Amino acid sequence: MLDSPSLSDGDLLRLISAGDERAFLAFYRRHQGSVFRYALQMSGKQEIAEEVTQEVFLLVMSIAKEYDPNRGSAAAYLYGIARNFVLRCLEREKPYLTVLDEPGSEYANRAAGSHDVLGELTRNERIESLRKAVLALPPAYREVVVLCDLSELEYAEAAGVLGCAIGTVRSRLHRARALLMEKMRASERCTA
């Protein structure tokens, strides 16, 4: 069965390039969530994340044969494609995009039915503050945080996605984490 974890991503991509619809569906099911989360965390907009996810997998159908497992994982391959689509969408949306506007629906209030309502509200506020802080980072820093910290890619894979050296990823990530800590401290001072 194609949904079996025994088939590697490379196997599925080879089958996709031969026109196998079941392989595409298995590959889509395996990676759709991570591509969507990446696009959402980079853009802060569900509409952009949905558009990017659709575009990534439509493109995969036509270029699956170009995947080279020696150059990196299928996840890194997909993040690289998604990155290009996200950057295009953000550029297109730039005149209309306000980074710190409406809160994301994915962090809906989880306090309903909870015994520790105040604790859940505080946690949700901190998550929302962190989400806003990540979205407020300059794109080069936001990318490394989303890829390395949120999507848990290795530095080498992130460097491949971004087309830069591993040292660049490390230095950007270090700077991004420092900026996030500053933003979170400022946010805590404002709420105290």
Predicted confidence (pLDDT) per residue in 3-13, tens digit: 556 899 999 99
Task: Give the model's pLDDT for residue 96.
Answer: 52
Q: Which of 138, 122, 124 is nearest to 180 (CA)?
A: 138
Q: Give the pLDDT confidence score for residue 107 in this predicted structure.
A: 35
Give the integer Cα–Cα distance in Å for 57 and 149: 24
Nearest Cα neighbor of 137 from 35, 51, 43, 55 is 43
- Residues 146 and 152: their CA atoms lie apart, in Å, by 8
Q: How far, in Å, CA of 127 to CA of 176, rounded?
A: 17
User: Any idea of the CA torsion for 60, 63, 68, 73, to the nearest 10 degrees?
Assistant: -10
Instruction: Name the residue ranges covered by the structural domains of the chain.
Output: 1-98, 113-192
Q: Among 1.10.3720.10, 1.10.10.60, 1.10.10.10, 3.30.565.10, name the CATH number for the domain at 113-192.
A: 1.10.10.10
Q: Mean pLDDT of residues grouped by 10 in the chain (192 residues)? A: 73 94 95 95 93 96 91 92 93 59 40 57 75 89 92 92 94 93 81 62
pLDDT tens for each residue of 147-169: 999 898 999 999 999 999 999 99
How far is the C-alpha of 97 from the C-alpha of 91, rounded, in Å?
A: 9
Question: What number does CATH give the domain 1-98?
Answer: 1.10.1740.10
Residue 172 one-letter amino acid? R
Q: Using an 8 Å Cβ cutoff, are 28 and 20 in contact?
A: no
Cα–Cα distance measured from residue 145 to residue 137, given in angstroms and rounded to the nearest whole number:
9
Q: Distance between CA atoms of 186 and 192, rounded to whole angstroms?
A: 10
147 burial level (CB within 10 Å; 0-12, 13-18, 19+): buried
Question: pTM for the complete prediction?
Answer: 0.70
Q: What amino acid occupies position 98?
A: T
